[in-house]
Structure 1
Amino acid sequence: MNILVIGPGAIGSLWAVKLQQDGHRVSVIARQTKSPYQVQFGEQPCSFRNHQIEDIRNADLILITVKAWQISSALSPLIHLIHPDTMLVLMHNGMGSLTSIGTLLQTHPVILATTTHGAFKPSPSRLIHTGQGETFIGAANEKGCQCQFLTDVLHHALPEVYWHHQIEHALWRKLAVNCVINPLTALHQCANGDLATPEFQGIISALITEITAVMIAENIPVSLEELTDHIHQVITATAKNHSSMHQDVFHQRKTEIDFITGHLIRTAGRHGIPVPENEALYQQIKALEKQWES
């Protein structure tokens, strides 16, 4: 397949490398415009065509791995070049980004994806796969329902990959994890595993209680006990990792808080559910962003 990756950060680069190794023709659109885009993966240097118009026009699949708030600005200049049959896969933290792709949702097959693979770029040209995970994909519109075969394509490159007929359930489960781990590790500038210490257990419990109430109101199958166990398992399994929001705060970059905790708060508001602990974390992250802007 002709595959274009828009936003080859850590996760985008991991998929680009794995898909290229699996025999696909992979190109990218990276922040830097020089071609080729190069990244060192283990002992292997990998090179990709970058910012080539014909790669946009010829793409069978476009994997969009920019941050949620960057999607609109990343796609807007390219819309007139993307073929109507080109499949669009959105893979990022958070929820609520579909409105940002505008008419593409009506004209193209759109698939939502969530992954628990860990990836890290200690430098712009070096990539580390920090943890095995699994990926769920599912249709965001009617045309996307015809793309279930992508499960096999992606699974062959970077297993495990599953098709989820109710992808919102998987996205909410990932959102719940992110609502706990991301803002706490960002504010305290700590690794994920540090959240297992006693000092964090009170706030984590309160956050999960609020998140569970919102998920139940959204008809997402969940229980407080199961979600609590799942989030603590993720904290343990990713103990040495630094969350993406931790990295954004460390480098004083705009975070995805509006699409993570912000989405939870907006959804809670529609149901009249108070979420004061999540609201407090949201406001603290937004205050940091405002400091950097000023």
Structure 2
Amino acid sequence: MNITILGPGAVGSLYAYKLHLAGHSVSLWGRTPSRKIEITLDDGENIAFNNQSLEDLKRCDLLIVALKAWQVQSALLPLLTHLDNDTIILFLHNGMGTVDMLADELTERPVILGTSTHGALKVNTNTVHHTGNGQTLIGAWNEKGQQCQFVAEVFDHAFSPTHWHSNIQQALWTKLVINCAINPLTAILDCRNGQLTNEEYRAQLAGIVEEAVCCANFDGVELEASTMLDTVVNVAQSTAQNYSSMHQDIYNKRQSEIDFINGYVVNIAAKHKIDIPNNLSLYQRIKQIEASWSHHD
């Protein structure tokens, strides 16, 4: 397939490399104006990818959006005019809500949503480490997306395991609840994920998860609070040494994805008039931290 990856960060670069090795024609669309971007994965060979090639974009069969959630709208909109109407668009990023914002522009296109539990770390401009094995789940966002199940097979061949999920909203909400609990807390406490397994945080985690699950249920997705709390604790344990993406963003004074994680839950809660003090307070706290930078710069 002809594949373009919008956002060659850690995750985008990891998938670009794997898809290239599987024989696909992969092109990147990154912020750097250079015509080529070189990527090395772990100890593998150095591969040069085309960057910002309109020709590649026009003939691509699949566009993978691997940006930070807050970058999606402004980066994707200008590209849509060059994309064929049949080009499949796969959103592969943390958080929820970006596709809703673009719904009018996307209804006529085949759109699929994905979630990945692979760990990836960009060591420098050209080197990516695959830091944790995970899986990729893909599912349809709209009617046209339903016809794209073969994309999961393409991915599975390149980067196993990948599965087609008939109810991708449930997978996305599951990941969202985990992110709601782990991401802002580790950012605020300036700690690794493992610290959250300490008993002193149990009640707080339970509160965050309960509220988020309640919002998921209102959004038509069946999740169970006690199961989700166990999942959160398991993820924190299995990624004990990792710093969450939000921790890294806040630590490095970069804009976080809070609007599309706890902020998404806050919006759902407002719509259904649900009280969610834990998530609201985390959301406000991260927004305050972000606002404080611009005041001091």
TM-score w.r.t. the length of structure 2 is 0.95
Unmatched segments (≥5 aa) in structure 2: none
Number of the residue aligned with 2:150: 149
Task: After superposing the two structures, state which structure 1 stretch, 129-138 or 213-222, moved more.
Answer: 213-222
1:69-122: CA deviations, max 9, x gaps?
111111122122101110000011111111333544122100011111111112
Number of the residue aligned with 2:169: 168
1:143-185: CA deviations, max 9, x gaps?
1111011110011111111111111111100000000011011
Contact 1:71 1:101 in 2 (8 A): no
Q: How does 1:8-87 map to 2 (within 5 A)?
A: 8-44=8-44, 45-87=46-88
SS of residue in 2 equivalent to 1:113: strand
C-alpha distance in structure 1 between counterparts of 2:52 and 2:137, whole Å:
28
Tell me which stretches of 4 or more aligned residues in structure 1 moved more than 6 Å: none
For 1:42, give the aligned amino acid: D
Sequence identity (%): 41
- The RMSD of aligned alpha carbons is 1.3
How many equivalent pairs are there? 294
C-alpha distance in structure 1 between counterparts of 2:278 and 2:104, whole Å:
36
TM-score w.r.t. the length of structure 1 is 0.96
Number of the residue aligned with 1:7: 7
For 1:67, give the aligned amino acid: K
C-alpha distance in structure 1 between counterparts of 2:139 and 2:3, whole Å:
18
Number of the residue aligned with 1:255: 256
SS of residue in 1 equivalent to 2:113: strand
1:231-285: CA deviations, max 9, x gaps?
1111111112111111110111111101100111111122222110111110010
C-alpha distance in structure 1 between counterparts of 2:119 and 2:29, whole Å:
21
Contact 1:75 1:101 in 2 (8 A): no
Number of the residue aligned with 1:245: 246
Contact 1:27 1:48 in 2 (8 A): yes
SS of residue in 1 equivalent to 2:210: helix
SS of residue in 2 equivalent to 1:66: coil
Number of the residue aligned with 2:128: 127
Unmatched segments (≥5 aa) in structure 1: none
